[in-house]
Amino acid sequence: MTAIFPVLALVGLGAFLFQVSGEHPEKAWQAYLVNFILWSAVAQGGLLFSVVLHVTKARWGKPLQGLAESFAAFFPVSFLLFLVLFLGRAFVFPWIGGDLHGKEGWLTLPFLFSRDAAGLLILYGLGFAYLRCSLILKRSGSEILEDRREAVMSRMTIIAVLYIMAYALVLSLLAFDLIMSADPQWISTLFAPYGFVKAFYIGLGALIILASVLHLRSRETSPLTSSHFHDLGKLFFAFCLLWADFFYCQFLVIWYGNIPEETSYLIQRTMTLPWSRLAWAVFILSFVIPFLILINKEVKTRPRFMIGLCSLVLVGIWLEHYLLLGPSLNPGADSIPISVSDVLIALGFLGLMAMAVRFALARFPELIPVQRQEVK
């Protein structure tokens, strides 16, 4: 089964190269940008789960922390993918050479790539520092001296708090620079928190998929119980509601403000064909379906069912990035610009993510919980 992931990565690479060397290279770079944002957010939000549990000293999710930490393996890949994005700058930043509506000092390519690269380095550096402390504790077990354990725990807590702060700041920066900048006259102060809430939402979804797959493969040795899946499902449900709430608040404030530069952004994406169809698909896949299903308590404890549901949410958020970027990168489009090559490129990124997580779990087996623990 795992042999399919390198194949997916190669297929995605082939689809990207074929598209980028054809008549419409802008389509390839659009798919690249969408998937870079999506899968980087999955990794960033996935690790945040472990970080938050550590800071809050929550014990219910302890068997899940190692799995969440395995998403950090995608950080180097994400950073390299960001650097490659510079090659497609002419296709993913439509504001180049245009009217920047007073943002000339902010929207310059050298400054944009420098600050975003610096932000990612800080975020990913903190993520690896946190992972290192976690591995020290997991490898040492009960053999580590109490003073040493306390010192590592204290350092880990400081790093965790810094990661949370960097997570909010860096994801806000990426939301402004890689998504909002595509339409320079539009601005929303809620867009930044909307972005990092969404990242945690899909990070939880990816974690549920990973935990469910591993649990189904080794039921006898898995420490995960129906209680774990139920609690994780409740958290996923909460962020489903929070994501929708941020979207609604943003929509409501802009609509009642009735400023043409702001309302035109919403009208184009929610009330104008072909984008309105995509908006409904995003709303149904990312909110309506999970909301109606997760109301049921039993569903949250069924790993197979949750794999399907979380996959639907990931597809919905993938489509949402096309909705946010599509009208700006495809002006005058009369159909939704998603083709077979877009799907193949997305599968390629999925392959890269799966390979990174698999490498982390193989290289650091202590991230995989293997003994049943009593959850208090």
With helix as H, strand as E and coil as C, how does 217-228 read? HCCCCCCCCHHH
Show the domain range for 117.
4-358
Confidence of residue 116 (pLDDT cuts 50, 70, 90): very high
Name the DSSP class of 331.
Answer: T
Q: Is residue 369 in some structural domain?
A: no
pLDDT of residue 5: 92
Confidence of residue 372 (pLDDT cuts 50, 70, 90): very low
Q: What is the pTM assigned to this prediction?
A: 0.92
Q: Number of folded domains in the chain? A: 1
Cβ pair 87, 17 in contact under 8 A: no
Give, in order, the Cα–Cα distances in Å from 270 to each of 57, 275, 283, 324. Answer: 42, 6, 10, 10
Q: Dump pLDDT digits (tens) for 8-30.
A: 999 999 999 999 998 889 999 99
Residue in 171, 213, 197, 198 with CA at minimum distance from that of residue 319:
198
Cβ pair 225, 375 in contact under 8 A: yes
Average pLDDT, the chain: 89
Residue in 52, 371, 375 with CA at minimum distance from that of residue 226:
375
Q: Is residue 335 in some structural domain?
A: yes
pLDDT of residue 374: 45
Q: Is residue 376 in some structural domain?
A: no
Rounded to whole angstroms, the maximal C-alpha distance in the chain is 66
CA separation for the pair 228, 239 (Å, rounded): 17
Q: Dump pLDDT digits (tens) for 175-227.
A: 999 998 888 888 888 888 999 899 999 999 999 999 999 998 887 777 888 88
Confidence of residue 233 (pLDDT cuts 50, 70, 90): very high
Q: Is residue 90 in some structural domain?
A: yes
pLDDT of residue 142: 57
Q: Is residue 97 in some structural domain?
A: yes
